[in-house]
Structure 1
């Protein structure tokens, strides 16, 4: 069925039209003088694949319709088309063309930012004269050339700025790990190694604070994507990705090499075009990167570089998840990290985890997590000593020996969330925290035993989980969770682009706006204000909901009576399944309802294909929210919500108007409330908001002017020194022998 697609960005949108044929009414001959119907052409399509075909028609708006040799038609910008190949490195080039241009090589300046394909004519007056493919001469000073080019001029004819060839690899040679197998518990706590010596920066900055400027973004398209802190916290690498739509050969990355002891940037360099550096080996000898460009399959190639002075020399390239396996999307690398100096662990978009040895580029072991688990967006979590990795599996969480793939143990979890679950080992390697779906659980690992299970705010994301001390977690570099108190203790609000945590020190790159200079800073967390708040709280006094307690259930939905009763029955079942009793008179109420937010105006405009930029329509849309809230004495203490907003991409079915499509997309499904898990333990205030917050940058955390503490309503005020507990005993269960 033909469909029309509407795109919306923020409150300004666009319509992209897709049809089964060419809308001939909009075709216009003579709109382009370079190509005419019947001309053979070549181009790289949206997915990065070379295509050939013949021009069908030229439009007046810059689009050229091409009959693709492989079948179908495509609309291509005139600037993206070319006639038969004339460059040796072009995928369409003939053997004759390649032979003709055999003398051509890629020349590069010392920054790595500028490249040109040319042949050497002569060296004169401390400069090199090159002839480009179009015949024009280019003169470049010798001191501006890369080290590789200077070696080439000195007689090393093998020196090349071109990327090394792709090494053939076969993931099928790797040992296949079966996460579903049962095995006796064999995990031994793997603690964080003791530091060899105190960092000079720690001695200079006793409060843990360092602050210095990295540099200015090139434009709004450059963003900070990685922050790598060396194990000794003496060096760091901040990595950006410039994703401007004008970059035709892939995204451009910059690397800011930082001396953390001096609190300064050593050097700034441009990485190879189309390559995104991701991690540096612990010994500082290797850099691992992957290809980086727009489209599926454009992040499928991994590269290994050797750090040599100021340069990163390419050593090898390989495709860990080749495109002949599954879709192009699944070949993309989503996550990769060094395990030690000679091994890299990575995950693709198909949820396949694999370990590779470097520089040999050989697979060691692999596991298809998608096969063994319904969890998506898998992110492995290393033990503090780096010897063990935690991965999801059908029965819960598997602990796997990193270098061998041997399964060391299994943590039984029968209700692991399918999306965005994150793990975090404590520094001793004896505890593992799991953050997922408004829930925090903690297991003791020697042997495995659940010691905490409590609700947290839905506002808390599922970013990286780090223990900053024996009782507290920092989630996503921002949310401080006190495991002992079962509360969201503090919110470190900030404008950080990237955050990394080492022990209780948080390193962050911040920028108030996309065009402000990046500033790198560090902060010890938790700061004293947060510790002062936690010191006067008692976990038993804060706990208001636990298994055995009574709850009342109400459903306030504008639905047919039968459907409303079905949803209410399902919620009652979920309440009882979590260990609670139903009592209509209980001060703890579970209420399901819907609400409508403030209306906003959104504009959709025609976009894409032949209708690009033509016509706009405006619509007033109000977000719809279906929610399940737990109240204690009429104060909300936990909430699940699902909100429908105006979509950025709106697909119109055949014969459907924009208004009808919007109504369809905005329609809520209240039955989702029937599948919401009821949390078993809720502390006063700990699941809906933090006890305190710090606004601004990390280097301001804890300052009197930027710190605020929330004051709860009188009906649920937290216990202070000398005060009596406000929690009535009627909300406590009778079967609470196990303290979780």
Structure 2
């Protein structure tokens, strides 16, 4: 920024100048000329120009990033009348987040709000010296732009290994049948885990909730009770110079907009113990409460993800995808980035980068620089994308639409894998982790070797799961012979030995599998309506040939396609009403003799409808259900290996619990 512009910004800041309703709506553009809006100038705060569009939306832009013409326009405003009177509402200096009811310190001409000090020793989180609710002024938050011209070429920082050892930590027995483990939060620097136990007894007036705090180093645990409103743990805060831990919780009630409030709790021994060490009982005391996205409504108000990348910073993500970077010394959101609706970002292992996704892009945000350092187009539109880094930080994965997997090399941005998940897997939206550079764990259940696209293992009795370096931290359940269920927090390596063994067998001894790449097969489409048989035959022939399978009429393995229906049924869509449709059921089987090795099916009515401009729900349903959707046979994910005697109840190569000891 030129000295003249610096002087302009400082002068505007000190005077609190605001133009308000007197300013005209005019075009504004950035220095590159690629982005422009029509708006009027409201005020200039610090180095930001606050603009208002004709629809009332307020936009903040750095003065130095405006076009030369717009910066000259700001100069001219000051030249016209440097003593322009201030409007009552806009003359006030935009307030930084502070407890409600607390007034700014009296100073001459309302000097700028304090910023975080640079000295490490003087740093103290805001919530240690202030209590009560906070208010947030989003108008002075710096927007982070996503510039497609950034490209993707990164140098990866080193990832420090964690000094954690595999272990099993016993959790309290169930209070009764209705108590469930509903959440898990960890922090590798703190060495702690939080497990939430919630009792969902039908008809109960209140929901009893407990938090189990687990020291992952010593194995000690402590229990704390939670009171109204219902809350769920999101993250653990620890400072570099203190052994004390602080817990970040979110209000957790049913309905859009009811997961909007954050609480920071301190942990106090219940029986006179030492702070920072776990006793059998502890109490939680709320230090600070605030609604980060209080200007939003509905799902955009909810906090869907949050974490502390370091002792000075909190990062949050709203339900509509807005990422905010908070300065913990002032409890003020310093910068924000709009990302994809319903997306969940991922913090890198070195905790300096945040991976994010929009509907059409995937990128990396540098949390220290507050800027996007890598971005590229996604292979296709990403619906509800969930992101995860591998333990080394070298790979980035995305689960989109709960049905598709993408894996990129983080240094180059190269797409290294893209494949659909097998039809029918029960995938929880936010249960997606990267426990090993070659394996993905999806839905707290399914272990994929992404390089070969093989579903290697299905874990039994696995609850909430997350990663800690190259370990998985998971809640596991076990039912003994007398029916008593026990629970534990397990810190273990994934994949475990048995999963590696079945993968090795699949990759190096494929002849032991009844169905695999390169074997002869035959196709049976006799159960497909005559009008569609030729089309389905062509689709399956092409798919099997892509696996080097020869189509032979006397082959031992048969691929059986079938279509049943139509069957009339009534469906309902939110905000649209009920519709009567005809539903066809499509199925695909792999059979050897009379033994069905694998099968899957799908109905003809989609759960989510995407409408083109001018199209309504009734028209779309008629188009989709008037005949069988034979395109499904192109999209359904077929297994690559099937044993002669499949593992009962799963399409994975193996099935079993996560071992409680390192194998």
TM-score by structure 1 length? 0.53
Alpha-carbon shift at residue 231 of structure 1 (Å): 1.0
User: Where does residue 448 of structure 2 map in the other structure?
Assistant: 481
Cα distance 1:357–1:557, how it changes in 2: closer, same or farther (>3 A)? farther
Give 1:374-393 correspondences, 5 Å limit. Answer: 377-393=342-358
Contact 1:180 1:394 in 2 (8 A): no
Query: Of residues 385, 389, 393 in structure 2, which corresponds to 1:429?
Result: 393
User: Where does residue 175 of structure 2 map in the other structure?
Assistant: 217
Moved more, 585-594 or 399-408: 585-594
Structure 1: segments with no counterpart, 5+ residues: 1-162, 203-207, 371-375, 597-622, 648-663, 703-740
User: Where does residue 264 of structure 1 map in the other structure?
Assistant: 220
User: Where does residue 297 of structure 1 map in the other structure?
Assistant: 257
Are 1:527 and 2:496 an aligned pair? yes
Are 1:446 and 2:408 an aligned pair? no
Give 1:273-312 correspondences, 5 Å limit. Answer: 273-283=229-239, 285-307=245-267, 309=275, 310-312=282-284
Are 1:188 and 2:188 an aligned pair? no
User: Where does residue 62 of structure 1 map in the other structure?
Assistant: none
User: Where does residue 168 of structure 1 map in the other structure?
Assistant: 135
Alpha-carbon shift at residue 332 of structure 1 (Å): 2.3
Contact 2:364 2:374 in 1 (8 A): yes
User: Where does residue 611 of structure 1 map in the other structure?
Assistant: none
User: Where does residue 699 of structure 1 map in the other structure?
Assistant: 660
Alpha-carbon shift at residue 383 of structure 1 (Å): 1.5
Contact 1:241 1:254 in 2 (8 A): yes
Please give the alpha-carbon distance, in whole angstroms, between the structure 1 residues aligned to 2:438 and 2:208. Answer: 41
Query: Of residues 631, 651, 661 in structure 2, which corresponds to 1:689?
Result: 651
SS of aligned partner of 1:448: coil
User: Where does residue 507 of structure 2 map in the other structure?
Assistant: 538
Please give the alpha-carbon distance, in whole angstroms, between the structure 2 residues aligned to 1:552 and 1:175. Answer: 62
Cα distance 1:315–1:426, how it changes in 2: closer, same or farther (>3 A)? same
Q: Per-residue CA shift, 1:234-282, capped at 9, x if unaligned?
A: 432222344567677x855422122334433234343564443322114
Contact 2:456 2:654 in 1 (8 A): yes
Contact 1:381 1:424 in 2 (8 A): yes
Contact 1:334 1:349 in 2 (8 A): yes
Alpha-carbon shift at residue 399 of structure 1 (Å): 1.7
Contact 2:168 2:660 in 1 (8 A): yes
Alpha-carbon shift at residue 354 of structure 1 (Å): 2.4
Contact 1:553 1:589 in 2 (8 A): yes
Please give the alpha-carbon distance, in whole angstroms, between the structure 1 residues aligned to 2:377 and 2:597. Answer: 29
User: Where does residue 39 of structure 2 map in the other structure?
Assistant: none
User: Where does residue 319 of structure 1 map in the other structure?
Assistant: 291
Q: Per-residue CA shift, 1:515-538, capped at 9, x if unaligned?
A: 955433333332222333334443
Are 1:228 and 2:185 an aligned pair? yes
SS of aligned partner of 2:500: helix
TM-score by structure 2 length? 0.58
Are 1:239 and 2:196 an aligned pair? yes
Please give the alpha-carbon distance, in whole angstroms, between the structure 2 residues aligned to 1:555 and 1:321. Answer: 54
Q: Per-residue CA shift, 1:454-499, capped at 9, x if unaligned?
A: 45433263654444434333333432222344312222212x3322
Work out which structure has the larger RCO, using CA pairs closer than 8 Å and 6 or more positions apart in sequence: 1
Q: Provide the aligned C-alpha RMSD in A.
A: 4.9
Give 1:292-691 correspondences, 5 Å limit. Answer: 292-307=252-267, 309=275, 310-322=282-294, 325=296, 327-358=297-328, 360-370=330-340, 377-419=342-384, 421-436=385-400, 438-454=403-419, 456-458=421-423, 459=425, 461=427, 463-494=430-461, 496-511=462-477, 516=485, 518-538=487-507, 561=531, 564=532, 593-594=562-563, 625-627=585-587, 641-643=601-603, 671-674=628-631, 678=635, 683-685=640-642, 689-691=651-653
Cα distance 1:581–1:481, how it changes in 2: closer, same or farther (>3 A)? closer
Are 1:255 and 2:211 an aligned pair? yes
Please give the alpha-carbon distance, in whole angstroms, between the structure 1 residues aligned to 2:558 and 2:141. Answer: 53
Q: How many pairs align?
A: 473
Please give the alpha-carbon distance, in whole angstroms, between the structure 2 residues aligned to 1:447 and 1:498. Answer: 32
Q: Per-residue CA shift, 1:655-674, capped at 9, x if unaligned?
A: xxxxxxxxx9xx97765553
Please give the alpha-carbon distance, in whole angstroms, between the structure 2 residues aligned to 1:174 and 1:524. Answer: 41
SS of aligned partner of 1:263: coil
Please give the alpha-carbon distance, in whole angstroms, between the structure 1 residues aligned to 2:138 and 2:442. Answer: 34
User: Where does residue 12 of structure 2 map in the other structure?
Assistant: none
Cα distance 1:701–1:426, how it changes in 2: closer, same or farther (>3 A)? closer
